[in-house]
Structure 1
């Protein structure tokens, strides 16, 4: 069975919360889900050769608000299962540091 690390990063301007992250290792057994509120960016990392994730959304996709944060720029600290440099899509390889993106109040 595939495994993935599902995570979100806070991009609100608040100095107490900016660049803080939360992640989960959802699977069939633990049935965990990660709800990503507004003003957060979301991504996942496949930790195996195969991973399947399902998304539920509260609104339609708006491409002009899409941004990509470089994975190594996030303050991942302890708790992240990312051990090695991941293989990145072209979009994610061009990601910006959290301090370089438009942030929200």
Structure 2
């Protein structure tokens, strides 16, 4: 597995080795020992899978308690995936990382606990799968508005296209008004 650093050191791009031939391919998407050696020493308690149509934007979600670290990947289609650092004592607090994840590049993104997370579907459809380090806790879930100008996330949308968002995400608060994550830099 190849580990690629991002501008936020705790967020990592992971490229598994893919073995393919005329029958198809094989790749290892989780190996506790290999990930520990890459600096990701965690346990996962929940796996999720979503399917979305083009221009669907999900996020930016986080939990103020029971923060979830997420190992995310796309098994069909392509998304632009974003992680925003919410750890108030972090030197990268308020900064974001965005990466394209697709079934073609097989990249995964490690989003540690303490980050808001979201993605935009750029293909006709996308299957998005992720492992979580803690359980979903709806009472602690919060959302930051995807178009918050203070974050300056550069979503790959043209000016004429509005993303498809849930009612909850459409009503999300600005970063400056967001309820703070109850944690520290990891």
TM-score range, shorter chain: 0.7 to 0.9
How much is the aligned-residue C-alpha RMSD, in angstroms? 2.0
Normalized against structure 1, the TM-score is what?
A: 0.83
The alignment covers a number of residue pairs equal to 103
Q: Larger C-alpha radius of gyration, 1 or 2?
A: 2
Tell me, yes or no, if the aligned pair for 1:19 and 1:75 is still in contact at 8 Å: no
Match of 1:20 in 2: 95
CA distance in 2, matches of 1:2, 1:42: 19
- Larger strand share, 1 or 2: 2
Unpaired stretches in structure 2, ≥5 consecutive residues: 1-75
Tell me, yes or no, if the aligned pair for 1:11 and 1:40 is still in contact at 8 Å: yes
- Give the C-alpha shift of residue 16 in structure 1: 4.1
CA distance in 1, matches of 2:124, 2:156: 15
CA distance in 2, matches of 1:28, 1:54: 11
Match of 2:174 in 1: 97
Match of 2:131 in 1: 56
Tell me, yes or no, if the aligned pair for 2:86 and 2:180 is still in contact at 8 Å: yes
Higher RCO (Cα < 8 Å, 6 or more apart): 1
CA distance in 1, matches of 2:114, 2:108: 18
